[in-house]
């Protein structure tokens, strides 16, 4: 048996060595064009007739259809570019890029849908191509360069490594036919949960939405300014968020399952709300309630609300993979998505907050944006933006998630 094992190990090693030797050289094939200094017309010319792949989360049928429809048609018509949309979770995309970097292999990913801590780790590990956004005409034409969300993503300086895609903002919602009065603060939420015991919960961290909800509670009870330049040290952060921990532990007994466990994702919480098992849910998509009502998933009396002290908003972005085989094409498609036309179609079809600066739009474009029907049960864009708070620095996010896991669950 021992001899068998040694033979087997030797065989395995020989195989992996052979595999190492078989590498077909590093890096993408040399582009004839030096992209970083090229003129926009040359980049567009280089991109003409090519295929661009866009990797990102594939669980939203409306977004898939929008990308495969409006966006694909737009770039096909104008630039003869074929857009290939691939559904993949961001963790898998980054894992794939890391293995490709390690193997110095040619990639297949051009554009990536990314933000927050994933952008932080991707940029830190050299998985992104850049800077490139300064070369995009629509970036200059439509995007406010002074907007904090143009400069930094969860406080990580962007430095031209990603271009804005859409804006998200944390919202809460309930069915006014079941619970007419929406809580307007963390304090009122406590009373709300006491009146509806076992019928409120939030997604377990590190779920995207659950994590944002907790940061929102932290902001309200501990203030948000102190976190903007805090060290990512466990004890420092814990001391700063202690009032929020105390609040959450006090909240636990009135939550679903007495707060001993939490649903694993925001989708589960949404499903439980739709089934009537919960009386409140939450989303990062500020207008998701109207889509839910349209699809018949939520009742017509479902209504979005936010806390008086505001909710966290962030932007999601588009980046380019370090080993993208078609960087020029990716730049052209990203530029197209930043156009007023596609931002308007995204706002109208997907009901996502646009990233274009309203003041930079022409009168006609402003009117078109103003006329978009956002459907039922949602807050207005002005109302949302008035209640918008900046994100926490990306490196603090995992620390808070760890603290929540240690100090809140089941306590």
Partner 1 sequence: MRRSIVPRLILALTAACIVIPAALLAVWSFTARWPWPNLLPERYTPRTVSELLFGSAKLSRLLGSSIALAAAVAVLGTAIAVLTARAEALYRFRGKELIRLGSWLPLLIPGTVFAIGFHMVLLRLGLADTVAGVLLVHLVAALPYCITIMADVTRAVGFGLEEQAAVLGTGPFRAFFYAALPSLLPGVLSSMSMAFTLSYSQYFTTLIVGGGRVKTLALVLVPYIQGGDRALASVYAAAFTGSALAVFGIFEWIIYKVQRGGT
Q: How far is the CB of 175 from partner 1 (least distance, A)?
A: 10
Q: What is the DSSP letter of 103?
A: T
- Which region among 91-99, 185-193, 213-221, 329-337 touches partner 1 (by CB under 8 A)? 91-99
Closer Cβ to partner 1, 268 or 376, answer by number: 268
309 binds partner 1 (CB under 8 A): no
Between 129 and 247, name the residue whose CB sits nearer to partner 1: 129
**Which residue stretch of 60-68, 228-236, 245-253, 372-380 sits at the interface with partner 1 (rule: CB under 8 A)?**
60-68
Instruction: Give the C-alpha separation, 244 to 234, whole Å.
Output: 15
Closer of 23 and 148 to partner 1 (Cβ): 23
**Residue (129 or 224) nearer to partner 1, CB:** 129
The bridge status of strand 388-389 relative to strand 111-114 is unpaired
Among 43, 46, 47, 53, binds partner 1 (CB under 8 A): 53
Tell me which residues in 105-164 interact with partner 1 (CB under 8 A): 105, 108-109
What is the Cα–Cα distance from 320 to 109, expressed in whole angstroms? Answer: 8
User: Residue 63: which of 205, 165, 212 has the closest Cα?
Assistant: 165
Q: Please tell me whether residue 257 binds partner 1 under the rule CB under 8 A.
A: no
Reduced 3-state DSSP string for 187-199: HHHHHHHHHCCCC
Residue from 33, 35, 38, 86 touching partner 1 (CB under 8 A): that is 86
Tell me which of 75, 274, 320, 334 binds partner 1, using CB under 8 A.
274
| Cβ burial, residue 141 (10 Å; 0-12/13-18/19+) | middle
Q: Which long-range contacts (CB under 8 A, 24 or more apart) does 73-76 make?
A: 74/336, 74/339, 74/341, 74/342, 75/332, 75/333, 75/336
Q: Are strands 111-114 and 82-87 parallel, antiparallel or unpaired?
A: unpaired
- Stretch binding partner 1 (CB under 8 A), from 73-81, 220-228, 294-302, 307-315: 294-302
CB of residue 108 to partner 1, shortest distance in Å: 5
Apex 117 CA angle, 284 and 242, nearest 5: 80
Q: Is 7 in the site for partner 1 (CB under 8 A)?
A: yes
Nearest one of 115, 101, 170, 165 to 321, comparing CA atoms: 101
Give residues in contact with partner 1 (CB under 8 A): 4, 7-8, 15-16, 19-24, 53, 55, 57-61, 64-65, 67-69, 84, 86-89, 92, 95-96, 99-100, 102-103, 105, 108-109, 265, 267-268, 270-271, 274-277, 295-299
């Amino acid at each position: 048996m021992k001899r068998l094992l040694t033979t087997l190990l030797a065989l395995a090693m020989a195989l992996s060595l052979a595999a190492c030797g078989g590498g077909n050289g590093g890096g993408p094939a040399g582009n004839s064009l030096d992209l970083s200094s090229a003129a926009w017309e040359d980049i567009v010319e280089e991109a003409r007739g090519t295929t661009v792949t866009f990797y990102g989360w594939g669980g939203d049928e409306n977004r898939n259809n929008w990308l495969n429809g409006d966006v694909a048609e737009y770039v096909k018509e104008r630039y003869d570019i074929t857009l290939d949309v691939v559904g993949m979770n961001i963790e898998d995309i980054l894992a794939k890029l890391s293995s490709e970097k390690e193997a110095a292999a040619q990639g297949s990913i051009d554009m990536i849908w990314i933000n927050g801590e994933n952008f932080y780790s991707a940029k830190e590990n050299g998985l992104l191509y850049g800077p490139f956004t300064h070369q995009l005409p629509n970036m200059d034409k439509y995007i406010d360069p002074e907007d904090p969300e143009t400069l930094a993503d969860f406080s990580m300086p962007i430095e031209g490594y990603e271009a804005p895609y859409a804006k998200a903002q944390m919202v809460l919602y309930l069915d006014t036919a079941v619970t007419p009065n929406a809580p307007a603060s963390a304090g009122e939420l406590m009373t709300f949960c006491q009146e509806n015991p076992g019928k409120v919960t939030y997604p377990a961290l590190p779920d995207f939405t659950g994590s944002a909800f907790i940061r929102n509670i932290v902001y309200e009870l501990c203030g948000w300014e102190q976190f903007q330049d805090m060290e990512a040290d466990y004890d420092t952060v814990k001391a700063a968020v202690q009032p929020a921990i105390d609040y959450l532990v006090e909240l636990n007994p009135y939550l679903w399952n007495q707060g001993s466990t939490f649903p694993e994702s925001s989708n589960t919480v949404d499903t439980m709300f739709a089934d009537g098992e919960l009386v409140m849910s939450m989303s990062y998509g500020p207008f998701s309630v109207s889509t839910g009502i349209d699809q018949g998933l939520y009742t017509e009396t479902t209504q979005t609300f936010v806390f008086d002290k505001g909710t966290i908003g962030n932007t999601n972005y588009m980046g380019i993979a370090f080993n993208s085989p078609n960087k020029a094409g990716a730049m052209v498609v990203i530029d197209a998505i930043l156009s007023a036309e596609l931002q308007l179609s995204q706002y109208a079809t997907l009901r996502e907050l646009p990233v274009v600066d309203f003041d930079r739009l022409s009168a006609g474009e402003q009117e078109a944006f103003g006329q978009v029907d956002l459907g039922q049960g949602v807050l207005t864009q002005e109302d949302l933006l008035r209640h918008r708070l900046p994100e926490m620095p990306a490196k603090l996010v995992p620390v808070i998630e760890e603290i929540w896991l240690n100090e809140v669950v089941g306590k």
